[in-house]
Amino acid sequence: MDPRVKISLVLICILPVSGEAPWSARIAEIKHKAAINLEAEHKVAQLNEELQSLVRQIRMRVCSSISFCA
């Protein structure tokens, strides 16, 4: 093998790498999206509970105004 190739390979191997790793930014993005999704899931659960409560209230009003309920 040509000695110049060996020297250039060694020089490339010892050059420091600067900057942020590409997966670090992706991890931060995924964590941010997960937090948003968690908030959305909580909001959906809260709205579902509210909806069920309103349905019960409507059924009670209808049943109280009619002599029977199905």
- The answer to whether the beta carbons of residues 38 and 28 sit under 8 Å apart is no
Give me the residue spans of the domains in the chain. Answer: 22-63
* Global confidence as pTM: 0.51
* Pairwise pLDDT comparison (52 vs 22), residue with the higher score: 52
- CA dihedral for 25, 28, 30, 36, sign (positive or negative): negative
What is the per-residue pLDDT for 49? 97
pLDDT digits (tens, 9 = 90+) for 50-66: 999 999 999 888 888 77
Instruction: Please say if the pLDDT value at position 19 is more than 90.
Output: no
